[in-house]
Amino acid sequence: MRTRIPSAISPGACVSCRARAAEAGEGHGQGVPSAFHRACSHLSTLSRVPAGLPGSGALAPLVGAWLLAWGATVLLSCAAVSHSGKDTNCSEIILIQEIVKDGFHRDLLIRVKLGTNIENSQTCNVLIKYHLPMGLYVDPYELASLQEHNVTEAMIIQDTVDLEAPDYLSEEFDVLLYAKSDSQCSECFRTILPIHCRYHQPEEKEERAFVVVKNPELFVSCYNDFPSLNCWKQSEMEAPCSMRNKHICQWSNMKYKSVNQNVMLQVPVGLRVHCHLVCVMTLFITVLCSGLILRAVFKHGHFSL
């Protein structure tokens, strides 16, 4: 004999549910749950009890009850996937980096866009962590002045920074940047980091060196939970809420899409063949200027014994 499957959990309904769930999963980067696959697999396998098996009449009620339970699992899985596909917004977080100015003193402009459908983004704070290579440095006195004028909030994670050390004698260090809301974009944040290039050793042929600034880490702290942020959360850390608010906040390390991968700076480098000429000219100009200063002092100065 055959056990009749209730119409509510028929194989046709299972196939239709699978199609709707797969469509929702493709649209939002989410696969159909494994429980859904198992339910449909068992449903199609056990939908028929071969006739002639001993005790098939006694097993029919048990098989029917078991199929009803699996049918409920199928419907719940399908409903969960469909609901997730409609309400979850996993729009990508975008980070843009841009170098401003030329020469040894540059500005690094960073802009972050949390998502097009995130409401009340003003309740979020954005923290950017840069790992600067040896060829660059940040002036802590300049950062203090910018913070005083409410331009940039940044913190160097290092006790001291040698501003005069050349590239080959310097060290790498980390900088924390607190981004501010962008008045031109409701879900955007921006900040500026002034960076300075260090002097490099003279080269034989090349007149320039390249310094690469790797993509930073992005941290977000919000008072409310946003689906987009939950989609891209990787890990968490504790750090001060801001430069003025020293309370500790919980920051979520976010995965983002970078418009331009890494930032490369060109630094002018001297040639070794010019070393002797540069040294002689520097010594000559130093002696000449010192002599002119002494002559002016003795000519126009007033001395009293």
The amino acid present at 92, given as its one-letter code, is E
* Domains of the chain and CATH, by start: 94-273 (2.60.40)
Residue 77: CB atoms within 10 A of its CB come to: 22
Contact (Cβ atoms closer than 8 angstroms) between residue 134 and residue 197: no
Six token digits for residue 167: 């590239």
Residue 120 is predicted with a pLDDT of 61
pTM, rounded to two decimals: 0.64
The amino acid present at 91, given as its one-letter code, is S
DSSP code, position 92: P
Rounded to whole angstroms, the Cα distance separating 281 from 286 reads 8
Contact (Cβ atoms closer than 8 angstroms) between residue 263 and residue 108: yes
Rounded to whole angstroms, the Cα distance separating 104 from 20 reads 58
Residue 198 is predicted with a pLDDT of 92
Question: CA triplet 229, 91, 224: central angle to 5 degrees?
Answer: 30
Rounded to whole angstroms, the Cα distance separating 296 from 286 reads 16
Residue 175 is predicted with a pLDDT of 94
Per-residue pLDDT of the chain in tens (305 residues, 90 and over written 9): 444 444 444 444 444 445 444 444 444 444 444 444 554 454 445 445 444 444 445 555 555 566 566 555 545 554 444 444 434 456 688 999 999 888 889 999 999 998 755 556 677 899 999 999 999 999 999 999 999 998 899 999 887 888 989 988 998 999 999 999 888 887 889 999 999 999 888 877 777 888 999 999 999 988 877 766 777 888 889 988 888 887 898 999 998 988 877 888 888 888 888 888 889 999 999 999 999 999 999 888 777 65
Residue 41 is predicted with a pLDDT of 52
E strands, the chain, in order: 94-100, 105-113, 124-132, 136-137, 153-157, 173-181, 188-197, 208-213, 217-222, 233-240, 248-254, 257-258, 263-268
Contact (Cβ atoms closer than 8 angstroms) between residue 125 and residue 177: no
> 271 has which bridge partners?
203
Long-range contacts at 163-170 (CB < 8 A, ≥ 24 apart): 163/137, 163/139, 165/198, 166/198, 166/199, 166/200, 166/201, 167/134, 167/135, 167/198, 167/199, 167/200, 167/201, 167/209, 168/134, 168/200, 168/201, 170/134, 170/135, 170/137, 170/198
Q: Which helix (H) or strand (E) holds 43?
A: helix 34-45
